[in-house]
Amino acid sequence: MGCSSCGTATGGKPGGCKSNGGCSTGGCNRMNTYDWLRNMPMVDQESYCKVVEVSFNKGTRKDFFRNTTLQQFEKGDLITVEGVSGFDVGEISLTGEIVRLQMKKRNVREENPEMKKVLRYASDRDLDLMKQNKAREPEAVIRSRAIAKQLKLDMKISQVEMQADGRKATFFYIADGRVDFRELIKVYASEFKVKVEMRQIGARQEAGKVGGIGSCGRELCCSTWLTDFKSVNTTMARYQNLSINQTKLSGQCGRLKCCLNYELDTYLDALQHFPNNCDTIQVAKGTAYLVKKDIFKNLMWYSIQGSTTQYPLAIDSVKRIKSQNQQGIIPEELETVEVTSNKPKEVEPEFVDVVGQISLRSLEKADRKRRH
């Protein structure tokens, strides 16, 4: 029996991946949460969490299901759960107490009576039926885009996700505004013979579903672990002294990179020690304008009007000069700081003249021996 996401052979329980963390090839490990409570012993069977987190479509969608069976599932097991007018097949991504933390994070109540249930381990028939319906998805994307274009709707079908039993299809689309797709749903239902659900997503969510490699050389955060997409603007780049280059700051989704948020709090905490009203200071040579702030070395770089040279100043020096300017005192020059680099200097190799050091007679003797 093989894993439905990548085809890796599985062992142990029916439909379960052999590796502890899911499929060993990485196809099943997208958007996983590290279960740091996995090795905790089960103390009370009654208080043990009866809800499991199940991932679908290679981890791009997750949901919670109540385990009403007498079986204890483990991470990586393929199970059959309740779907819309049928069933669906997914992979266990979290079990135990860590599920309660995830439910609290997503504001899901454990006592919710409408929560769908786990039916059984995924059988061979369930996996074969899911494989057949998943094979319909690429063709459904092409056909659905053509139908939307014929109806002249300003939208783009990004992905089509078929339920394992083929009774329902979710159409993920991108649109700038509201779209009246009432007629579109009727056409889709008659064309694909399924129950249609339309779900609007953004450009970041689409990039997470498509996947790819970022400029850092790693797999995209939105397709591996990032689930909450916060707004990103150019102000965050200015706080970090990054050049406002739209090409370098944009990700594969065409929006600003989500990683601009990662170190923003650290920069904001460090910038609290820098004075706010020191964009310009007066010296005898003229007005010095603030160029950038180096939070790692606690330096502020200034450039005097009419000159391209940049002068590094300590924070205390800048405050002192600004205080003197407010009192009407103009200092003679900037109190610059000598900046030293910890990087060793590269020593250029010396040029050695080897002309005439190789004798041609030795080459001629070797040639005579080969001929002999």
Q: Which of 248, 269, 290 is the last residue of a domain?
A: 269
How far, in Å, are 101, 213, 297 from residue 49 at the CA level? 11, 36, 50
Q: How far apart are CA 275 and CA 271, in angstroms?
A: 8
pTM over 0.75: no
217 assigned to some structural domain? yes
The confidence score (pLDDT) of residue 246 equals 84
312 forms beta bridges with 301
One domain for residues 22 and 114: yes
Domain boundary among 126, 153, 180: 126
Q: How far apart, in Å, are the Cα atoms of 126 and each of 20, 25, 119, 129?
A: 23, 22, 12, 5
CA 8, chain centre distance (Å): 25
Q: Do 77 and 180 have their domain in common?
A: no
318 lies in the same domain as 234? no
pLDDT, position 353: 66
Number of structural domains found in the chain? 4
| Structure confidence by residue, pLDDT tens digits, 46-88 | 777 889 999 888 777 889 999 988 888 888 899 999 988 889 9
Residues 58 and 5 in one domain: yes
User: Is 90 part of any domain?
Assistant: yes
- Residue 52's beta-bridge partner residues? 65
Interval 237-285: pLDDT, tens: 888 888 888 888 999 888 999 999 998 988 888 888 888 888 888 888 8
Q: Are residues 120 and 16 in the same domain?
A: yes
Together in a domain, 108 and 11: yes
Q: Note whether 304 and 319 are same-domain residues.
A: yes
Same domain assignment for residues 72 and 115: yes
Could you report the per-residue pLDDT of 160-219, keeping only the tens digit for each?
Answer: 999 999 999 999 999 988 888 889 999 999 999 999 999 998 888 888 888 889 888 998
The answer to whether position 340 is within a domain reads no
Is residue 256 one of the residues assigned to a domain? yes
Which residues in the chain belong to E strands, given as ranges?
51-56, 61-66, 78-82, 87-94, 118-121, 156-162, 168-174, 195-200, 280-283, 286-294, 299-304, 310-314
The CB density around residue 19, as the number of other CB atoms within 10 Å, is: 17
User: If we measure between CA atoms, which residue out of 99, 6, 20 comes closest to residue 58?
Assistant: 6
Residue 187 lies in a domain: yes
- Domain range spanning residue 308? 280-326
Instruction: Classify residue 296: in a domain, yes or no.
Output: yes
Dist CA 305 CA 66 (whole Å):
69
On whether residue 119 sits in a domain, the answer given is: yes
Tens of pLDDT, residue by residue over 330-365, are 888 887 877 766 666 666 666 666 666 666 666 677
Is residue 335, in this structure, part of any structural domain at all? Answer: no
Query: pLDDT tens digit string along 16-28?
Result: 343 333 333 333 3
